[in-house]
Structure 1
Amino acid sequence: MIERPTSSNWRDKLHEIIYEADTPAGKAFDVILLIFIIASIALVMLESINRIDNKYHDILYYGEWVVTILFSVEYIARIITVKKPFKYIFSFYGVVDFLSTIPMYLSFFFVGSQALVSLRALRLLRVFRILKVARYLGASNQLKASIVASRVKIAVFLFAVLVSSVIFGTIMYLVEGEENGFTNIPKSVYWCIVTLTTVGFGDIAPQTALGQFITSIIMILGYGIIAVPTGIVSAEFVKGNGKDGEKTSDREDFPEQLHLNSKSCQNCAASDHKDYAKFCHKCGHNLD
């Protein structure tokens, strides 16, 4: 646990609770917020079921308003606790927070039967709240880094799959022909992609013995192809774990593992700071 110096500034204390998770108060805030996010998603899903909505419409409606008000308070608190509020407002999560809060308020401006269709479309924006969950999953940053690190290998792999699909699709067009549903090469390539990914919609099926033999080869290749991107990302993920566990110093007063924590800069909202960082790695603002 990283100890923070006490501050007499209520704004600094509120910023520590809202944006960081290294303190008991910050962890409690994240857990409570996660509960309300999940509750909000559950309300949206239940409301979409006509049978449940007809019976419990008022409960779902008022429950949604309770969640909306709480998210509104959280959104305002996030703005007033940073020194550069526009940095947060126009950041990715700032936009997500705004989109997840505003639909219920927009309902005041869409009154009457003619606007009901538009209103239902606007209320679908509430599903953006599910994106708020991602910021509280610590391992998501490492997974994102692993995907970014392996993007070139994945791109080459996808290109190879596309080339294979074009080749096999063309072969199947020549073997099966229009009479068996392979009316053109693009449709044959579509069939090959569906078969190679082991989805198999069944809307097109080979009828000749040679076509079925080629299909069997494609299906077997499909099982191998599924494992490739998973292996690439997993290798980068393990490599990332290895880097995090490397010894960084021989000093006794310095830990062998240097971890990233949830410190968030109050000036620029940057995160991913080292445990013993005193200043923001982006703007140089004092983190204590």
Structure 2
Amino acid sequence: MNHLPKPAGEGLHTRVFQIIFESDTPLAKGFDIALIVVILASVLVVLLESVASLRAEYASLFFWLEWAFTLAFTLELAVRLYCLERPWLYLKSFYGIIDVIAILPTWLTLILPGTQTLVVVRLLRTLRIFRVLRLMQFVGEGRLLMDALKRSSHQILLFFFTIFMLVTIFAAVMYLIEPREAGFTSIPMAIYWAIVSLTTVGYGDIVPVTPLGQAITVMLMLTGYSIIAVPTGVFSAQVIRSIREERYSEEACPGCGHERHEKRARYCLKCGTWLDETTPDPRLPEEQRKAWWRRHHSGKKNDDAGSPPAS
């Protein structure tokens, strides 16, 4: 069960909570944007430090910058926990775990040197930008894609199983006909070659040298071109299906029987019949609307929402 964070109390706790955990004020939005900038800067420092020439020249600068970022993030996490009513719930949440992981590698260098490169996980903290820029409407689109992926999972798994059998057969044949000097030292190595060839990547580290092997390679590459779009087509079809179900209703028009109306539609696109069967057509005269209410609510006690409009 998800628990929304709450301030620990009135006064300073609430003011700090509004700045750190909310984004509906200029100050809160500025804090989040500044935090994201600092996160990106800290990741940039780690990336630059991995370059040998830069590390040799600016090692001291990188060291102090890294500790400055770590102390800043540690202080920020402490302030977050300070203003929360239940800090342990935040620490167990997704963002809480990311915040801890973001500062842990640098502190671990005091015990285990070399773990500072793990601070690139701080990049995950930029996910807060979804809250800052009010992009949570994309969650709906993400849910739609996940729904399409679940629906197409059986077809995609069947496709991958078929591909696996195909590359295994080709690999076994190549292992039999190609010399070991060509790189086909085992069937697993031949499977690696078959996958590389089927996907038309062609690294060139394992190359057939016999005419028959080269002919099989051509067949495998052409097969890859012909089937590589299959999972994309399956997934696209499920995405279109999910979009239609999200947008269109399956109920038929009571007048002409036409289906696939938009869920927000009130009248039939073809014949103009009123589609909402729970309320009368507002275009009807008042007497006919009253008669409709009597037919559909006879023997039932009408409440305020279900009663016909007053005369």
Q: Tell me the equivalent position of 2:149.
A: 150
Q: Tell me the equivalent position of 1:260.
A: none
Count matched residues: 236
Q: Tell me the equivalent position of 1:186.
A: 188
Find out whether 1:133 has 2:126 as its counterpart.
Answer: yes
Distance 1:141 1:242 in 2: 14
Aligned-pair distance for 1:40?
0.8
Change in Cα spacing, 1:214 to 1:101, as seen in structure 2 (3 Å) is: same
Aligned-pair distance for 1:181?
3.4
Q: How big is each residue's C-alpha offset from its partner over 1:8-61, in whole Å with a ceiling of 9 and x where there is no partner?
A: 654345444433445544433332222111111110011122321232233322
Asked if the contact 1:149–1:236 (Cα under 8 Å) also holds between the matched residues in 2, the reply is yes
**Structure 1 SS opposite 2:113:** helix
Distance 1:162 1:76 in 2: 51
Change in Cα spacing, 1:238 to 1:207, as seen in structure 2 (3 Å) is: same
Compare CA radii of gyration and give the structure with the larger one.
2
Q: Tell me the equivalent position of 1:119.
A: 113
Distance 2:146 2:120 in 1: 25
Change in Cα spacing, 1:39 to 1:148, as seen in structure 2 (3 Å) is: farther
Letter in 1 for 2:219: I
Asked if the contact 2:172–2:190 (Cα under 8 Å) also holds between the matched residues in 1, the reply is yes
Identity of aligned residues (%): 36
Asked if the contact 1:150–1:232 (Cα under 8 Å) also holds between the matched residues in 2, the reply is no
Find out whether 1:89 has 2:85 as its counterpart.
Answer: no
Q: Tell me the equivalent position of 2:211.
A: 209
**Structure 1, 15-24 or 183-192: larger mean CA deviation:** 15-24
Distance 2:34 2:228 in 1: 38
Distance 2:220 2:79 in 1: 55
Distance 2:141 2:91 in 1: 25
Change in Cα spacing, 1:220 to 1:33, as seen in structure 2 (3 Å) is: farther
Q: How big is each residue's C-alpha offset from its partner over 1:71-90, in whole Å with a ceiling of 9 and x where there is no partner?
A: 11222233234433222212
**Structure 1 SS opposite 2:201:** coil
Letter in 2 for 1:146: L
Q: Tell me the equivalent position of 1:103.
A: 105
Letter in 2 for 1:124: T
Aligned-residue RMSD, C-alpha: 3.5
Distance 1:24 1:220 in 2: 58
Change in Cα spacing, 1:171 to 1:149, as seen in structure 2 (3 Å) is: same
Aligned-pair distance for 1:141?
7.7
Change in Cα spacing, 1:63 to 1:236, as seen in structure 2 (3 Å) is: farther
Asked if the contact 1:143–1:237 (Cα under 8 Å) also holds between the matched residues in 2, the reply is no
Q: Give 1:155-170 correspondences, 5 Å limit.
A: 155-170=157-172
Aligned-pair distance for 1:147?
4.4
Letter in 1 for 2:77: Y
Aligned-pair distance for 1:161?
2.3
Distance 1:238 1:133 in 2: 31
Q: Tell me the equivalent position of 1:172.
A: 174
Q: Tell me the equivalent position of 1:32.
A: 34
Query: TM-score normalised to the size of structure 2?
Result: 0.62
Distance 1:119 1:235 in 2: 51
Q: How big is each residue's C-alpha offset from its partner over 1:202-247, in whole Å with a ceiling of 9 and x where there is no partner?
A: 2211122232222123223334555444555556666666777778
Distance 2:16 2:238 in 1: 37
- The structure whose RCO (Cα within 8 Å, separation 6+) is larger is 1
Aligned-pair distance for 1:184?
2.8
Distance 1:47 1:30 in 2: 26
Aligned-pair distance for 1:65?
2.4
Query: TM-score normalised to the size of structure 1?
Result: 0.66
